[in-house]
Structure 1
């Protein structure tokens, strides 16, 4: 049995590694997917991959910082999919220039927040009414394990935005529960994508980080997709207001 059969899922940042892996798994599990990305080319590629695997998808170009574009994307998704009952707020940035607040650049801080936090709010604002119209469903927000613990390799703009998303997740869950909508977050640790690889500039930097991982490896995009698929499925029907850490045990490890 396909765990997401009949679901209609709006995925932001669907052209990136985590959004693409999640969209592909959602489709394999029976969902129709609106793959939304700021890059038309990236969104179309995810759509092509979903359809090549036998799934159903529509590609939509939108900048999550632009309320008009988000509103139009939500309307288009609902029209093309026959409604929307699930939202995965995955779009986000983690710039390599983001370091300690002591050296913080305010423009970079605002850029990170505008995409990660404001984008999550705007997509929720305009997609949730469609979920209400569908009779309920689920919202999943992308946080980070850096919202749970500090790091000796600071990324303070990113961490602050993700901490805010975790708090927003709990508030959304309280507000939307009576409407039949579950809201959860996920907080991944280091997941090896091409972008994250660049945070490990040499073997020693990689070794230091890997020593913190009890399971002995970094995450993969499919690890994120697997948790996302569970949290938006009916198997998680009595889970809401939670931010689930997915980090191979890093946050449990005191060295």
Structure 2
């Protein structure tokens, strides 16, 4: 039975860990050839090796790139085109949450600039070169391939409602991702290019756990979560797969929230045990 991304080509930034790692594995399992992009080349190569054991019928490449540099992003997209002849899915997932990111009084300018350079400008570069590539995608009706494609930009629930633990630069950068995604989606909708934001809630990934480095900080987040637990990266990968696939063919310009109900909560139950994640979720980190 064909996979949901059969014959398609996907590029994932930040593919060496967290959401990017799980999404890369899932995209390959669903039939996509995948270009794994990460500033840590060894981490991306480890994912290539992992995919090779699980999805031997697809091709997977790893390349090093700093998404804050235009030339690096262009080179990664060019690699996908040169190797596979097209780009159908661009997952702009790479980002940072700097431990020194704080409130307006304490966040230093270089932390602000670094966060914007990676989290916002990096997504801009990714969108720019993906759009250029997707405009040129050849149509192959026999393989179900068409001009255009799907661009997914990782934002965050904090862009919708603010963070209880101050991280101003991160929150502002993700708000920029939401606004940019909406506008690009409108501009390019009739070219067959769908562009959506993925808004994760608090996840049990290195990015967040390194930031929430005390039990007090972790509990400060958990008290707002109706489910009483942090999400798993693979749960976001499943959402990214939906946005990448033709199943979401009428979805563009959305802020797709996968946050355990956090953004809909006013108050949460206290004293009830948290429900564990489904046993079918196989975390590989």
TM (normalized to structure 2)? 0.86
Deviation of 1:115 (Å): 0.3
Match of 2:73 among 49, 70, 90: 70
For residues 41 and 206 of structure 2, what CA distance do their matches in structure 1 show?
Answer: 20
Find the aligned partners of 2:21 and 2:202 in 1 and give their Cα distance: 17
State the partner residue of 1:152: 164
User: Match for 1:56 among 49, 56, 59?
Assistant: 59
The aligned residue for residue 152 of structure 2 is 140
CA displacement 1:3-46 (0-9 Å, x = unmatched): 11111001111112210110000001111111011122122112
Shift of 1:194: 2.6
Residue in 1 that maps onto 2:191: 179
- Counterpart Cα distance in 2 of 1:198 and 1:40: 21
Deviation at 1:234, TM superposition (A): 0.5
**SS of alignment partner, residue 11 of structure 2:** strand
**Hey, what's the Cα distance between the residues in 1 that align with 2:22 and 2:163?**
27
1:212 aligns with one of 224, 237, 241: 224
SS of 2:161 mapped into structure 1: coil
Where does residue 98 of structure 2 map in the other structure? Answer: 95
Alignment of 1:97-116 (within 5 A): 97-116=100-119
Match of 2:16 in 1: 15
Is the 8 Å Cα contact of residues 50 and 56 (structure 1) preserved in structure 2?
no
Count of residue pairs the alignment pairs up: 255
CA distance in structure 1 between the partners assigned to 2:210 and 2:16 by the alignment? 19
Contact 1:58 1:80 in 2 (8 A): no
**Among 175, 180, 185, the residue aligned to 1:168:** 180
C-alpha separation in 2, matches of 1:194 and 1:73? 24
Partner residue in 2 for 1:249: 261
**Gapped regions of structure 1 (runs ≥ 5):** none
Match of 2:245 among 226, 233, 244: 233
What are the Cα deviations for residues 157-176 of structure 1, in whole angstroms up to 9, with x where unaligned? 00000000000000110111
Match in the other structure for 1:33: 34
Contact 1:14 1:37 in 2 (8 A): yes
- Residues 96 and 207, structure 2, Cα contact 8 Å, conserved in 1: no
- Find the aligned partners of 1:200 and 1:121 in 2 and give their Cα distance: 28
Q: C-alpha displacement at 1:117, in angstroms?
A: 0.5
Asked which structure has the greater CA Rg, the reply is: 2
TM-score with structure 1 setting the length = 0.96
Equivalent residues of 2:130, 2:151 under 8 A apart:
no
User: Which has a greater percent of helix?
Assistant: 1
Task: Give the secondary structure class of the aligned counterpart of 1:217.
Answer: coil
- Residues 191-224 of structure 1, C-alpha deviation per residue, up to 9 Å, x if partnerless? 1013322334444443342221112221001011
The whole-number CA distance in structure 1 between the counterparts of 2:11 and 2:216 is 39
